Amino acid sequence: MDAAAVAERISGWMADEVRRAGARGLVVGLSGGVDSATVAALAVRAVGRERVLGLVMPCHSDPADARFARLAAEPLGIEVLTVDLSHAYDALVAVMSPEGEGTEVRRLALANLKPRLRMAALYFHAALRRYLVAGTGNRDELYVGYFTKYGDGGVDLLPIGSLVKGQVRELARHLGVPPEIVDRTPTAGLWPGQTDEGQMGIRYADLDRYLLTGEGSPELKERVEAMHRESEHKRQLPPVGPA
């Protein structure tokens, strides 16, 4: 991959999207991971650091996430705001039905509140400034549906949505993202010890290879395609009923 050419194409496209929408800039949720750090760096190239806002949104999160998020933002020179969503999350959980408490289904339902609260915070600040929300999903996540519907999937544009994880890391290195962020174990921060690969049950390296070449074990292909089929609703607008 020609990282320099890719950076130029994506940042140019982002600038065009901002102009086409009549927006003034971009807001990016900074998680402390390589995807959001890369999108923030591309956003600066697209519209300039003065028109990029980074939001750090802890929600009973590992303090290291916020530390890495600020590490990513510092060399970019962008404005960073911290919006602690822990109290809002606790308030919502307190009024939710206890049905299914202790089950894996409830655990996931509660975990998905976090990215949905982050989406609300991003759009609040985007509305205040007439900015667009730049999503941080990559091609792997989009294909298998590893994102929360109306959570981290609720964005205005997906700058790295055509890049697999390995390509994102390569682009991040070209853009000067700190190595400790590039090499961090990917996690959505949904609960302590949670990792992307552990929850998906697939290694990014294997998923990258399959998406780029079609190669992989029969078991991998079956799992990936099943996840793709089951998550199709996440990639579509809601169906509209007949008149």
Q: Residue 228 annotated as binding?
A: no
- Select from 69, 41, 67, 43 the least CA-distant residue to 55: 69
114 labelled ligand-binding: no
- SS3 at position 157: strand
Contacts of 113 (CB under 8 A, 6+ apart): 89, 92, 93
Tokens of 135: 């999503």
Would the annotation count 156 as a binding residue? Answer: yes
The answer on whether 170 is annotated among ligand-binding residues is no
Q: Is 206 annotated as a binding residue?
A: no
Token digits of residue 73? 């933002």
Is 103 known to sit in a ligand binding site? no
172 neighbors 182 (Cβ within 8 angstroms)? yes
User: Any binding-site annotation on 11?
Assistant: no
Is 31 labeled as ligand-binding?
yes
Q: Is 16 labelled a binding residue?
A: no
Tell me which residue has tokens 């991998």: 220
177 in Cβ contact with 72 (< 8 Å): yes
Q: Any binding-site annotation on 30?
A: yes
User: Annotated binding site for deamido-NAD(+): which residue ranges?
Assistant: 116, 149, 156, 233-234
User: Annotated binding site for Mg(2+): which residue ranges?
Assistant: 35, 141
User: Annotated binding site for ATP: which residue ranges?
Assistant: 29-36, 136, 165, 187
User: Annotated binding site: which residue ranges?
Assistant: 29-36, 116, 136, 141, 149, 156, 165, 187, 233-234
